[in-house]
Amino acid sequence: MSIEGKFTLETSENFDEFMKALGVGLVMRKLGASSKPTVELIKNNDEWTLKTSTAMKTTEVKFKMGEEFDETTYDGRECKTKFTVEDGNKVIQVQNATKGKSAKYIREFTDTEMIMTCECDGVTSKRIYKRQ
């Protein structure tokens, strides 16, 4: 199963509640709820790039699997972030906040989609992206 690819958001459940748990303000939550991001996961040797594009903004995170790095998130949180692979088709992203709330993202890849589960303070959101 390839975890590389390009994916477009199809459905989203409980994302506003997840963003509230993260401490995201109303205006950013409205923008987040209305956007249909495209996510691209690209591997170049042992470095990965996670590119997220919306009509408003494009962000890129570059990382190596299993190596912690400093990340400032889209909503301004400062985190120590680590990506790992489980079962060959799941990418786990853990953001341990040094400023703000911590979060965990589980991205599960199939032939046709990426299923992303977002977790913060016991609140879970499920977002399904279609593989392009």
Please state the domain extents for the chain.
5-131
Query: Which residue in 115, 81, 91, 78 sits closest to 42, CA to CA?
Result: 91
- Residue ranges for the chain with pLDDT beneath 50: none
Q: What confidence score (pLDDT) does residue 25 get?
A: 92
Q: What confidence score (pLDDT) does residue 86 get?
A: 95
Q: What confidence score (pLDDT) does residue 93 get?
A: 98
Q: What confidence score (pLDDT) does residue 1 get?
A: 66
Reported in sequence order, the residue ranges of 1-132 that DSSP labels E, i.e. its strands, are: 5-13, 38-44, 47-53, 58-63, 69-72, 78-86, 90-99, 103-109, 113-120, 123-131
Residues in a beta bridge with 12: 127
CATH class entry, domain 5-131: mainly beta
Q: What confidence score (pLDDT) does residue 33 get?
A: 86
